[in-house]
Structure 1
Amino acid sequence: MAPDVPPPAPPAPGPDSPAPRPVFDGHNDLLLHLWQAGDATGRGFFEGRAGHIDLARCRAGGMAGGFFAIWVPGQHGLPDAGAGLPPAFPPLGPDRARVVTLAMAGILVRMARARPDAIRLCTTAAQVEAARAAGAIGAVMHLEGAEAIGPDLAELEVLHAAGLRSIGPVWSRDNIFGQGVPFRFPSGPDIGGGLTEAGKRLVAECDRLGIMIDLSHLNEAGFWDVAAISDRPLVATHSCVHALCPSARNLTDRQLDAIAERGGVVGLNFAVQFLRPDGARDPDTAPDLLARHLAHLVDRLGEGGVALGSDYDGALTPRAVGGAEGLPVVIAAMRAAGFGEALVNRICWENWLGLVRRVIG
């Protein structure tokens, strides 16, 4: 997650266009922007808004499900990942984190309650499939950075009861659970220490509750700590390939091999600075670069371990892709790269749903 103002979106498909292929997306930051706009009911999602995601864009592009992130911004600037070493992000106060986390969770709950024909809060793979069958988006609540949770983990129980089923213990800043990987380029992810004792308890409790652990913003030491503690598949909801773009936020081949061994999944991040070999934040990035990262992921993870994790509303995406209405552009890039229809289906939908079924229920 690294919020940006996206460039103008490409036009949505017309009314005579064929129905788009259903996509389950591994990460978006819609709730952050609704909260920042003071939109407690999610009205902008239903009626149209600036950014990457609203109901019309999702329907035009085929976005039928995904992990909807809760991310609490701090009182600081945001990273420019293409400009060398960004500033360190100070820790986030727990009181602010709890208030904002509950506010964003409330937005998602209200949206699903008000318009179940359009979006549903889902806690199982079967519920996601049922939402898709009914023409609604199946939304799984995700927490990106666990600052709202105290060391006794009491808040985790409350959030789980509210529908939380996925959590990244850290964003790219330190908290009581561990150290996040900073936005450095060029750099490897082996920066700083791993999980704290509280972080190790958090991972174990998430395993018990059936909450998926997201490795996307953890540094390498934290990655290996999760691999040692958890017996679940290893998952990165929105990450790219370090061998193709040497950003600290990207996964090395050694990490990808570990994810493969555990039957995990990586959702490809659409952020241009994590795709491009030069790490530049340039929206004039060709969509075929996404296909190149996907091909590398397939090579390391197998056809069952690769999915999409756009980071919509939290990233600068290729201009040709834009927001959710541009998902068919990504699919066209896969086909142009020689991906067969069965593999495209797995990347767009089946791999995430299989992972949700195995980890969450």
Structure 2
Amino acid sequence: MTPLPVFDGHNDLLLHLWRSGDHDGTAFFNGREGHIDLPRARQGGLAGGFFATWVPNPETMPDPQGADVPVIPPLAHDRACRIATQMMGILTRMARARPDAIRICLTAAEIETARNAGAIAAIMHLEGCEAIGEGLDELHLFHAAGLRSLGPVWSRDTIFGHGVPFRFGHSPDTGPGLTDAGKRLVRECDRLGILIDLSHLNEAGFWDVARISQRPLVATHSNVHAICPTTRNLTDRQLDAIRDSGGVVGLNFAVSFLREDGRKDAATGLDIMVRHLAHLVDRLGEDGVALGSDFDGAEVPQDIGSAAGLPVLFEAMRKAGFDEPLIRRIAWDNWLGLIGRSIG
């Protein structure tokens, strides 16, 4: 049986390829440890997604999942720009070497073309804008290379705004909003057709983007604060604003952002994922909910395990009463509609 096609809001594959020195993506094509490679993507129906560039801190960081984490220090611009460029280069080399397997896409139409050809459709995403200077020159360079989505911050401060620290039992209202540079960044992304990702941005920054941007509000990999009260999740008021803008939220598979107790436990059942999805549908409507797995960047439920396990989630949704048209919207259609409205 052919698996349901999935467009996924977030993965960290490029970080792991970069760390291993695999700049040609050989392990992706042939099989690797972790959550995503080409064989398992095809097995589970993963046909596209946002491929993140995320630059790690040079020192060892505490694990952000399952416990409160002290403030994570900002990155130096020069280092961040060098590493981000290398990660984007990995994705570019992979797509040039194997267009039958993966393609960088700039529009919804290109995504559908890639899917019809059997290739994974990749949207290039920048998670945290430490690689971009205040003059935004790098933004234009990355846009020319294919960048069509970015988050102004990860969970650390940048010159553009303030990321939420990882805190359980706390609201996302953790500090001031966007800086003047951050507001210029949002306006320029609107002009260029680059999606602004609200995941990891604190609540004040969220509302700044909502006031400035003329495009739909998007959180590529976030969950429901009313179920799991961590700073990384969205309050109902934020969800309502995303709905009113015609935006989308992608369900994050990270167990510590799903569970009511915030624990990092791979034995977490899929019922909690279904609860988050049901709440998101209730607040956002059937066209506002998608998936944002955080594959290769988070501990996910062991019943899913990897991209190959995506059909297991859909079966859990069916058992909970989700009908086939809604499952297809969440799996593929809603991201494609949002990309068409936001990017082209």
TM score, norm. by length of structure 2:
0.99
**Structure 1: how far apart are the matches of 2:319 and 2:217?**
29
Q: Does 1:192 align with 2:175?
A: yes
1:58 equivalenced with 2:41 (yes/no): yes
Map 1:131-150 onto structure 2 (within 5 A).
131-150=114-133
Match of 1:311 in 2: 294
Letter in structure 2 aligned against 1:224: W
For 1:86, which of 69, 90, 96 is the aligned residue? 69
Partner residue in 1 for 2:7: 24
Q: Do residues 270 (structure 1) and 253 (structure 2) align?
A: yes
Cα displacement (A) at 1:328: 0.4
CA distance in 1, matches of 2:285, 2:163: 27
- Structure-1 residue corresponding to 2:282: 299
Q: CA deviation at 1:62?
A: 0.1
Identity percentage over the alignment?
69
> Is 1:353 paired with 2:326?
no
Structure 2 residue aligned with 1:216, among 199, 202, 218? 199
Q: Distance in 2 between matches of 1:277 and 1:63?
A: 28
Is 1:282 matched up with 2:265?
yes
Return the offset for 1:240.
0.5
Give 1:301 shift.
0.1
> How far apart in 1 are the matches of 2:291 and 2:64?
23
CA offset at residue 64 of structure 1?
0.2
Deviations 1:201-235 (A, max 9, x none): 00000000000000001000000000000011000
1:147 and 1:80 mapped to 2: Cα distance? 19
Report how far residue 113 of structure 1 moved.
0.3
Match of 1:237 among 220, 230, 243: 220
- What displacement does 1:75 show? 2.1
- Contact preservation (8 Å) 1:24, 1:65: yes
**Residue 111 of structure 2 aligns with which residue?**
128
What is the CA–CA distance in structure 1 between the aligned matches of 2:33 and 2:70, rounded to whole Å?
A: 28
2:210, 2:241 → 1: CA distance?
Answer: 8
Could you tell me which runs of 5 or more consecutive residues in structure 2 were left unpaired when the two chains were aligned: none
Secondary structure (helix, strand or coil) at the match of 1:46 reads: helix
| 1:256 paired to 2:245 | no
- Please tell me the root mean square deviation across aligned C-alpha atoms, in Å: 0.6
Q: What SS is found at the alignment partner of 2:220? A: strand
Q: CA deviation at 1:287?
A: 1.0
Q: Which residue of 1 aligns with 2:143?
A: 160
Alignment partner, residue 102 of structure 2:
119
Closer, same or farther: CA 80–152 of 1 in aligned 2, 3 Å: closer
Maintained 8 Å contact 1:206/1:212? yes
For these two proteins, the number of residue pairs brought into alignment is 343
**2:134 equivalent among 133, 151, 154:** 151
8 Å contact 1:290–1:333 — kept in the other structure? Answer: no
1:101 aligns with 2:84: yes
Cα deviation for residue 47 of structure 1 reads: 0.8
Structure 1 unaligned regions, length at least 5: 1-17
Q: Which amino acid in 2 is paired with 1:81? A: Q
Q: C-alpha deviations, 1:102-136, integer Å up to 9, x for none?
A: 00000000000000000001011000000000000
Contact 1:177 / 1:199 at 8 angstroms: preserved in 2?
A: yes
SS in 2 for 1:238: coil
Q: Aligned letter for 1:98?
A: C
Superposed CA deviations along residues 4-29 of structure 1, whole A, max 9, x for unmatched, are: xxxxxxxxxxxxxx110000000000
Matched to 1:163, the amino acid is G
For 1:242, what is the secondary structure of its paired residue?
coil
Asked if structure 2 preserves the Cα contact closer than 8 Å seen for 1:81 and 1:185, the reply is no
TM-score when normalising by structure 1: 0.94
